[in-house]
């Protein structure tokens, strides 16, 4: 009976891990597909839009993004269901790692979903222009670092080999996503993105006076 229970537990862990990997992978695929559709849409309508105007939002863009974010969150939650601690961290260290993850997650939500709309409204940034204040005045993709801190905190908190594999996997996918955005989507979405990119670094933050 004990052996049967161990076998069931083993397969339960395997299934959760497979679900988490597949869910996170297809979540990022949906986000990349949304960016690709935006680029294709802009190319087809290039003659209809004046160069000085940004391309309007693509119908159905959010319909791909929302399921993408949901799949990524579900994948992470699935990965948290089972944990085999290979490294025995002291309880206070696990608490520090959990605080690190929560801090990274909180700033990730702020940076990706709230900072630009609220900051652009406060600074009266025209629609279709890049927001170059706050954390976006330090580097063009600050959300990358908060996502990395968030996932690193989770990996350290769980302290198992699979958690670290998942950490590298999801951050590699996130890097591919922001490369796609930086090279193709954002230059179309924001009319002054090329000028913004010349002043603000891609990932490595600078702490000089911010550009207006």
Give the domain ranges of the chain.
2-199
> What is the C-alpha to C-alpha distance for residues 58 and 56, in angstroms, rounded to an integer?
6
> What is the C-alpha to C-alpha distance for residues 72 and 16, in angstroms, rounded to an integer?
14
**Concatenated DSSP letters for 149-175?**
HHHHHHHHHH-SHHHHHHHHHHHHHHH
DSSP one-letter code for 55: P
Q: Can you give the pLDDT at residue 179?
A: 98
Return the higher-pLDDT residue of 206 and 178: 178
Residue 181: Cβ within 10 Å count: 19
Are 177 and 32 in contact by the 8 Å Cβ rule? The answer is: yes
Does the reported pTM lie above 0.75? yes
Return the higher-pLDDT residue of 180 and 90: 180
For residue range 143-174, what is the model confidence (pLDDT) as tens digits?
999 999 999 999 999 888 889 999 999 999 99
> What is the C-alpha to C-alpha distance for residues 142 and 113, in angstroms, rounded to an integer?
12
> What is the C-alpha to C-alpha distance for residues 154 and 144, in angstroms, rounded to an integer?
16
Are 136 and 200 in contact by the 8 Å Cβ rule? The answer is: yes
Return the higher-pLDDT residue of 196 and 7: 196
């Amino acid at each position: 009976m004990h052996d049967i229970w161990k076998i069931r537990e083993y397969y339960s862990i395997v299934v959760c891990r497979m679900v988490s990997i597949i869910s996170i992978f297809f979540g990022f695929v949906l986000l990349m597909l949304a960016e690709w559709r935006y680029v294709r849409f802009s190319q087809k309508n290039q003659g209809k839009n004046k160069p000085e105007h940004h391309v309007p939002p693509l119908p159905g863009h959010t319909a791909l993004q929302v399921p993408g974010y949901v799949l990524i969150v579900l994948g992470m939650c699935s990965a948290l269901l089972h944990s085999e601690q290979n490294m025995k961290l002291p309880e206070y260290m696990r608490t520090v790692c959990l605080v690190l993850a929560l801090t990274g997650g909180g700033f990730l939500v702020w940076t990706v979903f709230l900072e630009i709309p609220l900051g652009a409204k406060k600074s009266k940034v025209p629609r279709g222009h890049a927001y170059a204040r706050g954390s976006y005045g330090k580097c063009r993709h600050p959300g990358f670092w908060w996502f990395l801190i968030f996932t690193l905190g989770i990996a350290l908190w769980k302290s198992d080999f699979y958690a670290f594999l998942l950490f590298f996997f999801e951050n590699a996918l996130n890097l591919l996503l922001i490369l796609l955005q930086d090279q193709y989507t954002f230059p179309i979405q924001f009319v002054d993105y090329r000028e913004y990119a010349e002043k603000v670094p891609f990932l490595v933050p600078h702490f000089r006076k911010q550009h207006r």
